[in-house]
Structure 1
């Protein structure tokens, strides 16, 4: 007996099924945009909350509107603009002779404070590492065996191991960052022998999507994201 389903036997979606499919499709389109806008709005509000108290009322648009037209308006982004202008001015002054001398003088005072020097030194090193050059970006996506042999995890190659780490290893080591799912900003720093690292052809962005989606979205051979559907895991 032929048990293969015919086209006419496949169930058709009813009105509720169609409505549900349309809702999920719309949610997929709206959710990333809404979350992105909400994050931008929140970050801008936080920066404004830090910066606006230091802005004189004569230069604060919200205060000027309140004084002249008696209108309360929450103008987002004013603090961000002043912060950017202030940062550019500080950077310009720091490049000059007086600016460098002042920075050396203040750092000399900070390095004499037991607790403050540790916090300041660590934060300065992190900021300089992040913004210094393109060498801080991940080079390639890869797979490493973690947490044991036979189990593979997505990771990102940072750079070749240097200093004492490279000297203590029996062979050439790679500095690898192993992200966690669904938050790829946290993870583990691993030093893996080069021979145990399998470099992937996919880009770092595609690998990050794979990690964030917990394996539900992966790049196909054309490099376009593809969803995994109806995967039969066991009989």
Structure 2
């Protein structure tokens, strides 16, 4: 009996330690993997941004008499400055007209049109200007009863009888630039406990970054 008790206690202790190790190991992975992926992606993007402009910066440095001088990261800084300068230029009247002309030109080239238009729409969706058109994130029963989808309220309309309706946009996943426009009664629209930006993350990730608990209530 004593030996059986000892074996039983030993199994419990070993089971406890194995379970403890598994739990802590998984907890460690949940911290390290996202952090590692973030560092890897940032390093990859930094390398691309720095590498594209690096040859031109080296030539410019050589031209001003500072041969061999190059600081890592100058390509990235130059890229940021170029994007900022382009944004400043595109924001004024002349720049806006030139950008519109450029859009029309690229819109006439068959293959380029698809790539350029799609990429521009994606950027507009994630820009502040695009997000401001979405008033709030909501849930609606779509495409059938008992099946809920994330949608964005885009407008509030009223019928001749005084009944309120919400115009909502239901984006597709993982590409939110296309979707469906629905006009629904108040009672069929449920407010989500997260904002527009969080909803976009859920849609783009295919639900992988969805919260563990979802709270919702009918719109008032």
C-alpha distance in 1 between matches for 2:177 and 2:81: 35
Residue 174 of structure 1 aligns with which residue?
167
Secondary structure of the 1:218 match is: coil
Match of 1:211 among 183, 207, 213: 207
C-alpha distance in 1 between matches for 2:118 and 2:149: 28
Aligned-pair CA distance for 1:21: 1.0
C-alpha distance in 1 between matches for 2:107 and 2:139: 45
User: Which deviates further from its counterpart, 186-195 or 40-49?
Assistant: 186-195
Change (3 A) 1:186 1:53: farther
Residue 135 of structure 2 aligns with which residue?
139
C-alpha distance in 2 between matches for 1:134 and 1:173: 19
> Number of matched residues?
188
Change (3 A) 1:185 1:122: closer
C-alpha distance in 2 between matches for 1:186 and 1:94: 25
Does the 8 Å CA contact 1:156/1:177 hold for their aligned counterparts? yes
Contiguous gaps of at least 5 residues in structure 2: 1-11, 158-163
Aligned-pair CA distance for 1:90: 3.2
- Give me the TM-score of the superposition, normalised by structure 2: 0.59
Residue 224 of structure 1 aligns with which residue?
none
C-alpha distance in 2 between matches for 1:129 and 1:213: 19
Does the 8 Å CA contact 2:137/2:194 hold for their aligned counterparts? yes
Residue 149 of structure 2 aligns with which residue?
154
Aligned-pair CA distance for 1:111: 6.8
| Counterpart check, 1:190 vs 2:180 | yes
